[in-house]
């Protein structure tokens, strides 16, 4: 499928079951006003079953092309949207160009011969120099969610090519120093930057996050330095290879639940023109109406055999040809819906992904819900699928905010959410724990705002979630009040500490380690500007927070007991000083499970070997300091290694700054304290 170039010639092939005719349109350049050749395909020669194909001799690389497809246009009864006036982008293109694209013009019914997006003929060849996917063990992963463009677009990044794959390469030392194991990139597949709500100012705003994919085999041209040379594939590969050399895995956020074509009023880019009735969920009573389970106008018909094959081919391409290490699936519950829209436990697409030989080592992570109310966290079809643990996010936000009566669920979440995963034989690593992600408040905004402030989006503050489970620490927004600022920073440290002390796979949002703010905007999907960019001056301004995050990551990675691949049992192994986990309140072994006012929880976690220190954690989210005791140990002593109420302890590595502690002490309000049990000779 697509265009396959060789020096002798190029083979073109597309799928269109109900088309009655097809033309291949060839352009010299992405912005050539007229084609230099139009080739009409002969169905008796150039059609095999439902595939239209033609071999063209002597075409050089760099030539651009589109398709015109003819056929019935009966939208209501059959969902057909064939229109031979419109030029279509190849769904299998390896290099998509949107140089002349105008989404508003393309939406017009009479947009005859208006320039479309175009595909570019490129040679798919690259020297990998022995590179292979990193393939970290899931339980050892620490994921860093980030935006390719936003990470280096700010002037303060001081990279040679801001906002590109190359810019990421220059910042690899920062990622290594931070200590994360895997990056999770917001969408990198080619997307429509002009896809915005109708009344939004397109002069100032654009589709920044990229959840508007139109080409599932092409890297986004906006992240390339020289896309006009067809460098899409190789610039992305250069980045992957460099990250792998640094030991960092690459996970892609992929959007197979909807496309950039939107609903009935959206433009025809490719899928609508080649096979609208196959590609999308349509209302059976009126097939001009798109069923919208995504909130984006259309829903991909993922479990139609042809669409399933297309998505699987795309995923396998990114693993085999682009060497990525895994995928996070946006609104993944859509992928579980059958052709009638009802959820399937044995959805063909999901189980094809599960058992694909090409994907057998790739991480597969589900955002296990959709916009139509299907919520599958802990119940997503398949065995090795991990999912974003929204239950973890919500209860930890509430606990640190100061809500009472949560300690039972907090304990369940910290210990790996066995209630969600253990019953099906899954593991703690099936849960991706997170506090913040791209969608919502940043960490600093979570402790600085009670309400969203999205007016800059141009939708009268209607967009974005209204339920943020946040607390502004006593004042809405920016303030210079030192007590409030100190409390906010302590709360931010509390979130990071608990996240990295929890069983399961932690995910951090890029910029949280330097307290990046979006000024209360919890939906910066349209802000390719300073509101959505990483401000690198913050790495100095908030250096204390950056050091703390590094130390928490280092602490986690030095303690295998925090990265178990099996659930905790509360039982004591013969070579351990303690059960694998013991729970406490303000007094030892008395966590006050039934107290509706409790805001205090502690636990002792046994090391997996005599070489690993046991750890004791106390979390006090009440408004008062509390007096606690430490478990008695012989020939050892407890050392305080982390205290979110004492930022002076983070000027150097925790192991150097550790302080000897007695068996009794005070834990400050709104703080997390961690102790290590070490030999006295330490």
Q: What kind of fold does domain 561-679 have according to CATH?
A: Immunoglobulin-like (2.60.40)
Question: pLDDT of 301-354, one tens digit each?
Answer: 999 999 999 999 999 999 999 999 999 999 999 999 999 999 999 999 999 999
- Tokens of residue 58, six digits: 């002597």
Give the least confident one: 266-280, 552-566, 567-581. 567-581
Cα 242 from Cα 220, distance rounded (Å): 19
Does the pLDDT value for residue 11 go beyond 50?
yes
Note the pLDDT of residue 111: 57
The pLDDT-based confidence of 112 (bands split at 50, 70, 90) is: low
Does the pLDDT value for residue 270 go beyond 90?
yes
Only one residue has tokens 């046994």, namely 606
> If you average pLDDT over residues 16-24, what whole number do you get?
95
- Which one has a higher pLDDT value, 629 or 661? 629
* Radius of gyration for the alpha carbons in the chain, expressed in angstroms and rounded: 27
- Tokens of residue 3, six digits: 């265009």
Does the pLDDT value for residue 430 go beyond 80?
yes
Note the pLDDT of residue 108: 79
Q: Identify the DSSP state of 590.
A: B
Note the pLDDT of residue 593: 94
Per-domain residue ranges for the chain?
138-491+512-551, 561-679
Give 276-312 as a DSSP string: HHHHB-EETTEEEEEP-SSSSS--B-TTSHHHHHHHH
- Ramachandran class of 616: left when φ > 0, alpha when ψ lies in -120 to 50, beta otherwise: beta
Q: Residue 539 to residues 482, 532, 534, 535: CA-CA distances in angstroms? A: 20, 16, 10, 8
Does the pLDDT value for residue 662 go beyond 60?
no
Question: pLDDT of 215-264, one tens digit each?
Answer: 999 999 999 999 999 899 999 999 999 999 999 999 999 999 999 999 99
Note the pLDDT of residue 104: 87
Strand pairing report for 9-15 and 2-6: antiparallel
User: Is 110 in a helix, a strand, or coil?
Assistant: coil
> If you average pLDDT over residues 189-216, what whole number do you get?
93
Cα 340 from Cα 283, distance rounded (Å): 9
- Tokens of residue 446, six digits: 């979570």
Note the pLDDT of residue 38: 96
Does the pLDDT value for residue 428 go beyond 90?
yes
Does the pLDDT value for residue 638 go beyond 90?
no
Cα 378 from Cα 193, distance rounded (Å): 34
Query: What phi and psi, each to the nearest 5 degrees, are found at residue 673?
Result: -125, 140
Choose among 466, 467, 464, 488: nearest CA to 476: 488
Q: Which residues are catalytic?
A: 330, 367
The pLDDT-based confidence of 565 (bands split at 50, 70, 90) is: very high
Does the pLDDT value for residue 652 go beyond 90?
no
Is 58 exposed, middle or buried, given 0-12, 13-18 or 19+ CB atoms closer than 10 A?
exposed
Strand pairing report for 47-48 and 51-57: antiparallel
CA dihedral 44, 49, 53, 54 (to 10 degrees): -30
**How much of the chain exceeds pLDDT 70, in percent?**
96
> If you average pLDDT over residues 604-609, what whole number do you get?
90
Does the pLDDT value for residue 422 go beyond 50?
yes
Tell me the CB-side half-sphere exposure of residue 386, using CA atoms within 13 A: 28
Quick count: other Cβ atoms within 10 Å of Cβ 142? Answer: 21
* 534, 510 contact by CB (below 8 A): yes
Note the pLDDT of residue 682: 47
Query: Average pLDDT of the chain?
Result: 93
Cα 440 from Cα 523, distance rounded (Å): 6
Q: Identify the DSSP state of 516.
A: -
Are 138-491+512-551 and 561-679 in the same CATH fold? no
- Tokens of residue 121, six digits: 């003929």
Helix axes 305-320, 348-355, angle to 10 degrees: 30
Choose among 162, 4, 2, 5: nearest CA to 89: 2
Question: pLDDT of 542-551, one tens digit each?
Answer: 999 999 999 9
* 491, 670 contact by CB (below 8 A): yes
List beta partners, residue 362: none
* CATH 3.20.20.80 assigned to 138-491+512-551: yes
* pTM, entire model: 0.95
Question: pLDDT of 127-181, one tens digit each?
Answer: 999 999 898 999 999 999 999 999 999 999 999 999 999 999 999 999 999 999 9
Q: Residue 395 to residues 43, 59, 144, 413, 470: CA-CA distances in angstroms? A: 60, 59, 21, 8, 11
Note the pLDDT of residue 649: 57
């Amino acid at each position: 499928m697509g265009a396959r170039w060789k020096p002798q010639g190029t083979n073109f092939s597309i799928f269109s079951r109900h088309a009655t005719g097809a033309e291949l349109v060839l352009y010299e350049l992405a912005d050539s006003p007229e084609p230099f050749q139009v080739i009409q395909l002969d169905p008796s020669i150039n059609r095999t079953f439902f595939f239209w194909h033609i071999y063209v001799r002597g075409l050089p690389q760099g030539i651009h092309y589109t398709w015109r497809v003819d056929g019935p246009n009966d939208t209501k009864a059959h969902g057909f949207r064939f229109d031979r006036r419109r030029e279509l982008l190849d769904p299998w293109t390896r290099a998509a160009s949107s140089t002349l694209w105008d989404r508003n013009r393309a939406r017009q019914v009479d947009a005859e011969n208006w320039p479309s997006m175009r595909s570019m003929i490129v040679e798919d060849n690259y020297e990998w120099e022995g590179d292979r996917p990193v393939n970290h063990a899931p339980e050892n992963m620490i994921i860093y969610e980030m935006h390719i463009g936003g990470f280096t677009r700010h002037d303060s990044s001081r990279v040679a090519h801001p906002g590109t794959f190359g810019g990421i390469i220059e910042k690899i030392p920062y990622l290594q120093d931070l200590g994360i194991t895997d990056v999770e990139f917001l969408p990198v597949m080619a997307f429509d930057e002009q896809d915005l709500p109708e009344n939004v100012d397109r002069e100032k705003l654009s589709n920044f996050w990229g959840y508007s994919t139109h080409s599932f085999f092409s890297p986004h041209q906006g992240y390339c330095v020289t896309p006009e040379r067809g460098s899409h594939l190789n610039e992305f590969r250069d980045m992957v290879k460099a990250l792998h050399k640094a030991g960092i895995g690459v996970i892609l956020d992929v959007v197979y639940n909807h496309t950039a074509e939107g609903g009935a009023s959206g433009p025809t880019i490719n899928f609508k023109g080649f096979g609208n009735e196959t590609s999308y969920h349509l209302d059976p009573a009126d097939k001009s109406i798109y069923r919208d389970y995504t909130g984006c106008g259309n829903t991909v018909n993922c479990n139609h055999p042809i669409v399933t094959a297309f998505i699987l081919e795309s995923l396998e391409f990114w693993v085999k040809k682009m060497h990525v290490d895994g995928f996070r699936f946006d609104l993944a519950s859509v992928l579980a819906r059958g052709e009638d829209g009802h959820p399937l436990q044995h959805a063909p697409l999901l189980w094809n992904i599960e058992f694909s030989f090409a994907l057998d080592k790739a991480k597969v992570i589900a955002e296990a819900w959709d916009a139509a109310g299907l919520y599958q966290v802990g119940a997503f079809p398949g065995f090795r699928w991990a999912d974003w643990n929204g239950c973890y996010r919500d209860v930890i936000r509430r606990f640190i905010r100061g809500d009472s009566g949560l300690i039972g669920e907090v304990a369940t979440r910290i210990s790996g959410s066995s209630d969600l995963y253990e019953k099906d034989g899954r593991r703690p690593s099936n849960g991706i724990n997170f506090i913040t992600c791209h969608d919502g408040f940043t960490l600093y905004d979570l402790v600085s705002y009670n309400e969203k402030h999205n007016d800059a989006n141009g939708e009268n503050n209607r967009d974005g979630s209204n339920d943020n489970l946040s607390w502004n620490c006593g004042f809405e927004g920016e303030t210079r009040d030192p007590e409030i600022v100190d409390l906010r920073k302590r709360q931010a440290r509390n979130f990071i500490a608990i996240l990295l002390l929890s069983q399961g796979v932690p995910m951090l949002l890029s910029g949280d380690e330097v307290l990046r703010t979006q000024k209360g905007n919890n939906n910066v999907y349209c802000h390719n500007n300073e509101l959505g960019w990483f401000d690198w001056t913050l790495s100095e301004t908030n250096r204390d927070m950056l050091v703390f995050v590094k130390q928490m990551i280092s602490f986690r990675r030095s303690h295998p007991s925090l990265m178990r691949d099996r659930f905790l049992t509360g039982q004591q192994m013969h070579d351990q000083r303690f059960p694998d986990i013991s729970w406490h309140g303000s007094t030892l072994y008395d966590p006050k499970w039934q107290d509706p006012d409790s805001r205090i929880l502690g636990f002792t976690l046994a090391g997996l070997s005599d070489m690993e220190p046991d750890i004791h954690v106390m979390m006090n989210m009440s408004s008062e300091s509390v007096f606690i005791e430490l478990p008695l140990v012989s020939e050892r002593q407890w050392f305080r290694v982390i205290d979110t109420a004492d930022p002076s302890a983070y000027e150097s590595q925790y192991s150097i700054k550790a302080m000897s502690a007695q068996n009794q002490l005070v834990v400050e309000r709104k703080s997390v304290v961690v102790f290590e049990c070490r030999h006295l000779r330490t």
